[in-house]
Amino acid sequence: MKNKHLYSQYWCDVIRPAILKRDGYKCQQPGCNVRHKAVGYYNLSGQWVECDTFMSNWATKQNFKVQKISLQVAHLDQNPANNEESNLLSYCPKHHLAFDLPHSIIKKLAPKNKS
């Protein structure tokens, strides 16, 4: 979590876990459904493949990057102080990054206020 000071003191222990539970511990990007703490890899088409130990060993031998996914909770309005349930959504890291990217670009391109 970047800029930890911008988040509620209840973020890690109360708010984030409640949103993950509400969302069924799955990424909310349509068609994704990556599960929280799932082990797997992204195939050549970019689709998530969840693995058991046997598949994980096979994927590693095929040079796929096997990883454990921890879901993240996105602030839809990009405001970490707004913790209304309607403003929060569970995403896998891939889709959270994709959601935040346009906002990050706009922020970088915006003129800096010199007050």
Dump pLDDT digits (tens) for 22-72.
999 999 999 998 999 999 999 999 899 999 999 999 999 999 999 999 999
Q: Which DSSP letter does residue 33 get? A: -
Enter the pTM of the model.
0.82
Positive or negative, the CA dihedral 60, 93, 26, 70 is: positive
Let me know if 17 is exposed, middle or buried by CB neighbors in 10 A (0-12, 13-18, 19+). middle
